Chains A and B, each alone.
Chain A
Amino acid sequence: QQQVKQSPQSLIVQKGGISIINCAYENTAFDYFPWYQQFPGKGPALLIAIRPDVSEKKEGRFTISFNKSAKQFSLHIMDSQPGDSATYFCAASSPGSSARQLTFGSGTQLTVLP
């Protein structure tokens, strides 16, 4: 069964600190790794995504680091802000399915203290 394991389940960080969320996968056919951000009362929204042909992708304060040999990828939030407080989901998908299904991690609830 395809799985994506995410940790930690919850994370508390001081304002200005670095938030790090980790994910590991088993299926080597996965070729697309997005992160989704969900604020309370809202649906998840795409934050940033990476393909395995690069080891890192940065967008503003958000960076995905990807380690293909270890089958792991992580989200780093630099200079974390209270407005970053949300639930973060990593995900992965493989080509070939008729609707490109995403397999999601279990989620990390991030709280950034002011």
Chain B
Amino acid sequence: DVKVTQSSRYLVKRTGEKVFLECVQDMDHENMFWYRQDPGLGLRLIYFSYDVKMKEKGDIPEGYSVSREKKERFSLILESASTNQTSMYLCASISGHATGELFFGEGSRLTVL
């Protein structure tokens, strides 16, 4: 069974803390994504990566960075968490095919106090 695993389902952090969200996929997909989900705003793309060590900014990259040192792992980093980054974060992956299915993890709900 194909899987995208987000290691932390729920996190509570304080303003200014550094936050790491980890995502691992077992499908040998080239492309990985981090989305943010907020009510009424849908899914907004933060960053994506189409290869190891490659990254591109999505629609809302400010305040975030990413790391992809291995093909199966894509990390989202909040260098200094702020309260407006309280949200649900979803990792996803897709193969290199033109219209492949995007597979999502179950999400990491981050609360910044």
Are A41's CB and B106's CB within 8 A?
A: yes
In the bound complex, residues from chain B placing their C-beta under 8 Å from that of A98 are 50, 56
Chain A residue at minimal CB-CB distance from B100: A100
Given known contacts A42-B106, A49-B99, is B45 in contact with A101 (CB within 8 Å)?
yes
Residue of A34, A46, A99, A106 touching B33 (CB-CB under 8 A): A99
Residue of A42, A49, A95, A101 touching B58 (CB-CB under 8 A): A101
Are A43's CB and B43's CB within 8 A?
A: no
Residue of B50, B92, B98 touching A95 (CB-CB under 8 A): B98
Q: How far is the CB of A91 from chain B (nearest CB, A)?
A: 8
Residue of B30, B33, B42, B106 touching A107 (CB-CB under 8 A): B42
Interface residues on A, range: 20 to 34
Determine if A45 is an interface residue (Cβ-Cβ < 8 Å). Answer: yes
Are B43's CB and A44's CB within 8 A?
A: yes
Residues of B within 8 A of A (CB): 4, 30-31, 33, 35, 39-45, 48-50, 56, 58-59, 90, 92, 94, 98-102, 104-107
